Amino acid sequence: MSCHTAPPLFLGLMAGLIAATIAQDASAQEAVYFEYDGSFDDATFAVENTIIGRGLVIDYHSHAGDMLNRTAADIGSDVVIFDQADIFLFCSAAVSRRVMEADPANIAHCPYNIFVTSKDGVVQIGHRTYPDGPMQEVEALLDAIILEARDQ
């Protein structure tokens, strides 16, 4: 048996491809933020009510800000990332079916989420961005939920 090694040019091309993929994935995780004129509690209440009011079920309500603040000292940090931050995870059966019929790989984006953050008196509601194509229907749904919640 012989042992084969990859030529340096091939290894260089593969490293470049991996780096490009990582950079593309990082840019795909951008987020859209909307300012909220009110308190954090009012924003979370409005988002929750809007999601439920559209007949959607919240699968999980994460209190990410509490966790980050509670564990900071445990890992040797004194940085306050958010004063408060919550994330609502949910799905729409109708929208999910359409985007996954268009491309079954879109399951990777489910469930969808909307986050609410507060830092130094600034409250924001947002969501991550999604790839062009069928997932823009999800992004439009999230934008509509957030805008409706802002108007409450």
CA–CA distance, 89 with 110 (Å, rounded to integer): 9
Q: What is the mean pLDDT of residues 101-124?
A: 97
User: For residue 19, is pLDDT > 50?
Assistant: no
What pTM does this model have? Answer: 0.79
Bridging pattern class, strands 31-36 and 84-91: unpaired
**Domains of the chain and CATH, by start:** 29-150 (3.30.310.70)
135 in Cβ contact with 98 (< 8 Å): no
Cα 83–89–93 angle (5° rounding)?
160
3 state SS of 90 = strand
The gap from C-alpha 148 to its chain's centroid, in whole angstroms, comes to 19
